[in-house]
A and B are shown apart, each in its own frame.
Chain A
Amino acid sequence: MSPEAIAPESGASTPPTSRGGPVSFNAKHLLGIEPLSVDQIQLILETAKSLREISTRPIKKVPTLRGKTVINLFFEASTRTRTSFEIAAKRLSADAINISTSSSSIVKGETLVDTARNLEAMAPDVIVIRHSSAGAPHQLAGTCSACIVNAGDGAHEHPTQALLDALTILDHKPTLKGLRVAIIGDIAHSRVARSNCLLLGKMGARVTVCGPPTLLPVGFDRIGSADGSLAVTDRMDDALEGADVVMMLRIQMERQREAFFPSVREYFRYYGLTARRMRSAKPDAIIMHPGPINRGVEIASEVADGPYSVILGQVASGVAIRMAVLYLVIGGREHPSRALEG
């Protein structure tokens, strides 16, 4: 296959460069947004943009990661993220193996580290891990030689979600810098909120997080921003005021039982996104949701399906971001088109 096979269409952006040479990703794992530099975030986004075109071809496959093995190790139920990683790996010609255990392997008396060592013996290049315990990917990274990609760990981070959200925003807005972003819902239990606050903070956006005080954890205002650009409020209208981007978070029904709020009805009254509420935001504001959405709980159908909703665009961005991440952690130091040269 010729190098052109993976080259971006004309008009697609090129990866960021320094002194004319390619910027290297220079990180073995993607454990979270927290350890990433602005340059690394930009490189992932630019690489994703250039890889996105592959998914529009009649034959949606390039040989870039041929012979590489990607294990999707999912300890927590997930259709969307697992499928997205699987498609991303396959479009780059990597062999993707899915291991899903709804109940952690502890049930069988095997620890996470044991499971990882067993997989390690099969010499995978990348282990993509989703786990209900925060820090599980970090523990894997400490014991495995494979590259570890965090596909969501407890309430800690979900870095590819934040990256795909950024990519989606950039489809509608020229830059993240100075953008007003409202993140609304169950902040306390949300890895999506954490990763987004970290990424958007690094990229210069002004984020306001909002939810009932019971779902706003201690010290959240200090996340991702040493300069205090992150605001926290329990009033939805304050969060929406002048927003360019509105991100709604999923409300888990069990939180009601845990007494975080009294009822879904009441939650929706104060924190549900409706067309009327959206009038506080900018006229061209976009609405995002990491899915799956609870219609009538955190978001009204009229809004979820309305013209400003980019929820399905997020899903499409997901594949491109995961292709970029797999490519870069495996060692893609350069633009994927150049990687095939020589």
Chain B
Amino acid sequence: MASLLVRNGRVLDPAQELDGISDVLLEDGRVSRIARGLQAPGSTVLDASGLIVAPGLIDIHVHLREPGREDEETIQSGSEAAAVGGFTSICCMPNTDPVNDNPAVTSFILKEAERGALTRVFPIGAISVGSAGERLAEIGEMVNAGAIGISDDGKGVMDGQLMRRAMEYSLPFKIPLIEHCEDLNLSARGCMNEGYHSTVLGLKGMSRTAEDAMAARDIMLAELTGAHIHIAHLSTRGAADLVRQGKKKGIHVTCEVCPHHFTLSDAACRHYDTNTKMSPPLRTEDDIEALREAIVDGTVDCIVTDHAPHNPNEKMLEFDRAPFGIIGLETALGLVLTHLYHPGLISLRRVVELMSTQPAQLINQPLGHLKAGTAADLTLFDPDAEWVYDLGQTKSKSRNSPFHGTALKGRVAATIVAGKIVYQSPEYFKE
């Protein structure tokens, strides 16, 4: 079977404490050997000189819109955008139409992924039927069909008792409960962060307390039940503090943050550009600082995109009527390198931990490292390459990004899934 030799890259695998120039031999879709000067007659050679060779990036929070809104994204198109962004695995949220709240939808997603996805796709099941927050979905059946976690992402689980039951019930399945922390009464009908800018713009604000209060409740429920609560797209100083305290107390709480939340503030909404509207909303400069601190001190476990494609016609609506969400798979690594690595906040090793090692552990998958025998998922990137994001080139079926025309430093050179090159940048590999 085919083999691929990735030669001369700087192999960076935190799980094995590897950081140095080396060759990586991939055989039969698995990592075979890592050493200098490997010879592998007959194998394809990829020259990775000057590039970082890391275990494949994993995004545990994306929306693929299939089934139901194939005009916005399909499992295939979403995976293509993921491959361009250096992701080898993505986890898709259940808020499709129909909602992934039963094993039939879970199986459908996996079958479609097998048929056309460039990356691995891991479905996340719903916590409640229809994500309506009323009764438990068939959590065990979905796990049996391949779901790696559960979430009612898009809105918070308002009923505390239901959340407690979901945590208790899911204990034997050893999956994370991924919670969109938002008290819907407190944030009622808001469309951006509540603060000076929402006041100036005359837009209804979503208070940061709506996120903090829910995060506090969920962390306390996790303490009560012993379940693993994973706070999705954490965006406030208050919630970061709560997670930090929870971890100190030994509660099984983890969290993720999105690049837009530590790079843009609510001031970006001032032109009523609906590509600055997402939930949770862009917060304040103080929150940006708090998120960066939380990334640096280890409170944050992983970076995710919350890639949320929307039809341009819907994003063209008035700001308060437009749907929440932006796409993010293609810009995530560039934003992380530009805003966290280059200013010296975190090392490249930490970048890999946040985007590969730790998300793999969170979803309990034997990925996120390059130990011999594991799946040959690799991301090759050039941390110093300067480029400008162009939505005209996106592989996503949607165009809703606030980063069009943004200059970034750090770019994906190639993405390898199960030993197969699924993306290679023409800038690096001219064929």
Contact = CB atoms under 8 A, between A and B. Distances in A.
Interface of A: 34, 106, 111-113, 131, 133-136, 138-139, 153-157, 191, 194, 217-220, 222-223
A134 B319 contact: yes
B133 to A, nearest CB: 22
Interface in B173-199: 194-199
B1 interface: no
Contacts of B198: 217-218
B318 A135 contact: yes
Interface string B123-157: 00000000000000000000000000000000000
Given A106-B317, A134-B320, A218 B202 contact: no
Contact of B202 (A106, A154, A219, A222): A154
Contact of B196 (A111, A133, A154, A218): A218
Nearest to B193: A218
A34 B316 CA distance: 24
A135 B203 contact: yes
A111 B314 CA distance: 8
Q: Is the interface of B mostly helix, strand, loop or mixed?
A: loop
Interface of B: 194-205, 271-272, 313, 316-321
A155 B190 CA distance: 13
Contacts, number: 68
Nearest to A134: B202
A134 B205 contact: no
Contacts of B319: 133-135, 139
Given A112-B317, A133-B320, A191 B199 contact: no
Nearest to A155: B202
A223 B195 CA distance: 12
Given A133-B321, A218-B195, A153 B202 contact: yes
A138 B199 CA distance: 17
B199 A217 contact: yes
A219 B199 contact: yes
Given A111-B317, A112-B317, A112-B318, A134 B196 contact: no
Given A111-B313, A218-B194, A131 B318 contact: yes
A155 B199 CA distance: 9
A112 B315 CA distance: 11
Given A111-B317, A113-B316, A135 B199 contact: no
Given A111-B313, A138-B271, A138-B272, A219 B318 contact: no
Nearest to A222: B196
B267 to A, nearest CB: 12
Given A155-B204, A157-B202, 10 more contacts: A106-B321, A111-B313, A112-B318, A113-B316, A134-B202, A135-B202, A139-B272, A139-B319, A154-B202, A219-B200
A216 B71 CA distance: 42
Nearest to B196: A219
A255 to B, nearest CB: 13
A156 B200 CA distance: 7
B193 to A, nearest CB: 10
A341 to B, nearest CB: 39
Most chain A beta-carbon neighbours within 10 Å: one of B202, B203, B320:
B202
A220 B313 CA distance: 33
Contacts of A138: 271-272
Contacts of A134: 201-203, 272, 318-320
Given A134-B202, A219-B199, A111 B272 contact: no
A191 B194 CA distance: 17
Contacts of B272: 134-135, 138-139
A191 B196 contact: no
A112 B197 CA distance: 24
B318 to A, nearest CB: 3
Most chain A beta-carbon neighbours within 10 Å: one of B195, B200, B271:
B200
Nearest to A194: B202
27 contacts: A34-B200, A111-B313, A111-B317, A112-B316, A131-B318, A133-B318, A134-B201, A134-B202, A134-B203, A134-B318, A134-B319, A135-B201, A135-B320, A136-B318, A138-B271, A154-B202, A154-B203, A154-B320, A156-B201, A157-B202, A217-B198, A217-B199, A218-B194, A219-B200, A220-B199, A223-B199, A223-B200
Nearest to A224: B200
Nearest to A138: B272
Contacts of A112: 316-318
Most chain A beta-carbon neighbours within 10 Å: one of B205, B316, B318:
B318
Contact of B199 (A113, A136, A154, A218): A218
A133 B277 CA distance: 14
